[in-house]
Amino acid sequence: MTVRYPAFALLLILMTGCGGGSVAGVASNQSPAPLPTPVPPIAGSPIQHVIVVIQENRTFDNLFNGFPFADTVTQGLDHENRIVNLQPEGLEWPFDPDHSHASLVKEYNGGKMNGFDLDSCDINPYASSCTGPNGPPPDFAYSYVPESETQFYWILAGAYPPRGYGIADRMFSSRQVPTFPGHQYLIAGRGGADDPIGPGESALTGIWGCDAPSGARAASFGATYGAPLVYSYPCYDYKTIADLMDAKGVSWKYYTGTIGTVDGTLSAYDAIKHIRFGVDWSKVVTPMTQIFDDIQNGTLPQVAYVTPPGPASDHAGFLTAGGPAWVTSIYIYLTENPALYAHTAMLVTWDDSGGWYDHVKPPSDAFGPLGFRVPLLVISPYAVQGVTHGTHDFGSILHFIEHNWNLGTLGGDDLTADDLSDMFDYKQAPIPPVVNFGKFTARQILQRYPPAYFRAMLSNPRPVDNE
C-alpha cells in the first residue's frame, strides 16, 4: 500500500454543496438560562470550557487522506489481497456503506483489514438505489473525500502552519459499532453493538432510546467479542459523564435534535433512563443550533456536547457537504468572544467509521479489537499543532473531561484510555484564532452560513409510533 504525503500547496476552494447566503430558519425553542458559578479546573489547566462536536461516519483514510505527515494510503487490499485504488468521492456522493456491527466485523476480517469489498450498500431515504444500474460501483467503500471539500477541516487541523490546531491519526472508535452505541461510548464509556430497530422502523428512521416503541430492540455484546449478541430494549440506567459532572457541580448541556426526527436519533441521553425522566432532561437542548445563541449570550456551559443537523453531519447519503461549514461556524462563533476562546477546548470527532476503508489495524484489549480509526481534531489555543500519533479512543475524551475537573472515573473505556495530554501544551504561547480561510475570511463565512442556514436543515418532527 502506498502512503501519501501531499505537497503543502493550499487549494483554497470552498466545499462543494455548501453555497448560498442567509436562509430563513426556525427560531430556537429554548431561551438561554443563567448558569451556576463555574467550577474551576484543576491547577495548571487553562481549560474552563469543553465543546465536544460529534460528526458522523468517516474514517481517517476517508476524510483526511493525504493530510501532511499523517498516516494515510491511496491503495487498499480486498479479501483476496488484490490491490484496490482508493477513489475520490465527495461528501455528497449518494452511496452509504453498511456499517452495522456484522458488516464492520466482515471488513475487519480477523485483523487483515481487507474485507471492505464484501460490504454492501446501506439503504436510506436520501441515497440512490443500492441495486441495479443506479447502485454503487464495485469496491465503493474504498473511497476518500477530496481535499477541496474538506478544506475548512484541513485548515483547522493545522495542515498549513502557522495557522490551525491539531489532529490525531491514531484515534479509534471504541468498538466495531455504528452510531447509537458510538454515541453511548462517548457519554458513558460503554455501549451496545448495534442501532435499535423497532416495529416497522429502519435503523435510520427509528427512535433510539427510552422513547422507542415497546417492541424496539438493540443488540449488546456478550461476554466476549465473538459471543452471540444479546438483545434488549434501548433504555439503560448506567452512569454517564453527566452524573460525574452533576456530582461536582460542573455545568453541562447536550445540544441535539428533537425526539421523533431523524436528527433526534442522535439524542444519546434519551437512552439513559434517569436522565430522560429526571431533572437533567432540561439540559438536553433542542435544536442543536441553540449552541450559537449560548456562545453569543454567555450561557455556554462548562461542557457542551453537540450533534449536527443531518445534512451537516458528514453522513454518507444526505447528498450534501455541509459538515465543514457547520463545524467551522461553531468555531468562528467561539472566536468572536476572545475571553471564551482563550479558555476553551473544542474536540471534534466522528462517531463511527461509516463502513469506509481504513488501513490501520485497531489495537485490542482484553475484550477484543477496538473500532476503526476516526479523525479527532483538538481546537484550542493550547493545542499541539499538526499531527500527533498517540493512541486514543472515545474514552480519551471522557478521561480528558474527568481529569480537567477531577471528576473521578466512570470505570469504562475512560479508565483505560489516555487523557489526550499529548495533544495539549498549556505552557506554549496561545494560538491565535484563524481569521483567513482562503477565499473567505471568518466574517464572510458567518455571513454565508449563519445559524438560520443550519436551522433550515432541521428535519420535520414525526409522531412517535407507540404501537
Asked if residue 400 belongs to a domain, the reply is yes
Q: Give the pLDDT of residue 262.
A: 85
Asked if residue 13 belongs to a domain, the reply is no
Query: Does 127 have pLDDT greater than 80?
Result: no
3-state SS track over 289-355: CHHHHHHHHCCCCCEEEECCCHHHCCCCCCCCCCHHHHHHHHHHHHHCCHHHHCCEEEEEEECCCCC
Query: Does 402 have pLDDT greater than 90?
Result: yes
Q: Give the pLDDT of residue 205.
A: 58
Asked if residue 404 belongs to a domain, the reply is yes
304-314 pLDDT, tens digit each: 999 999 999 99
309-348 pLDDT, tens digit each: 999 999 998 878 899 999 999 999 999 999 999 999 999 9
d(CA 426, CA 44): 8
Query: Does 26 have pLDDT greater than 70?
Result: no
Full-model pTM: 0.90
Split at pLDDT 50, 70, 90, the class of 257 is very high
pLDDT averaged over the chain? 88
Asked if residue 30 belongs to a domain, the reply is no
Amino acid at 173: S
The CATH number assigned to the domain holding 240 equals 3.40.720.10
For the CA atoms of the chain, what is the radius of gyration?
Answer: 20
Asked if residue 275 belongs to a domain, the reply is yes
Q: Which three cell numbers stand for residue 225?
A: 467479542
Q: Is 279 exposed, middle or buried (0-12, 13-18, 19+ CB in 10 A)?
A: exposed
Q: Give the pLDDT of residue 89.
A: 95
3-state SS track over the chain: CCECCCCCCCCCCCCCCCCCCCCCCCCCCCCCCCCCCCCCCCCCCCCCEEEEEEECCCCHHHHCCCCCCCCCECEEECCCCCEEECEECCCCCCCCECCCHHHHHHHHHHHCCCCHHHCCECCCCCCCCCCHHHCCCCCCCCEECCHHHCHHHHHHCCCCCCCCCEEECCEECCCCCCHHHHHHHHHHCCCCCCCCECCCCCCCCCCCCCCCCCCCEEEECCCCCCCCCEEECCCECCCCHHHHHHHHCCCEEEECCCCCCCHHHHCHHHHEHHHHCCHHHHHEECCCCHHHHHHHHCCCCCEEEECCCHHHCCCCCCCCCCHHHHHHHHHHHHHCCHHHHCCEEEEEEECCCCCCCCCCCCCECCCCECCCECCEEEECCCECCEEECCCEEHHHHHHHHHHHHCCCCCCCHHHHCCCCHHHECCCCCCCCCCCEECCEEHHHHHHHCCHHHHHCCCCCCCCCCCC
220-245 pLDDT, tens digit each: 999 888 899 999 999 999 999 999 99
147-197 pLDDT, tens digit each: 999 999 999 999 999 999 999 999 999 999 999 999 999 999 999 999 988
58-108 pLDDT, tens digit each: 999 999 999 999 999 999 999 999 999 999 999 999 899 998 999 999 999
Split at pLDDT 50, 70, 90, the class of 34 is low
Residue 272 lies in domain: 49-191+236-455
Count of structural domains, the chain:
1
Asked if residue 58 belongs to a domain, the reply is yes
Q: What is the share, in percent, of the chain residues with pLDDT greater than 70?
A: 88
328: phi then psi, degrees, rounded to nearest 5: -65, -35
Asked if residue 203 belongs to a domain, the reply is no
Q: Give the pLDDT of residue 226.
A: 86
Asked if residue 398 belongs to a domain, the reply is yes
Higher-pLDDT residue of 247, 436: 247
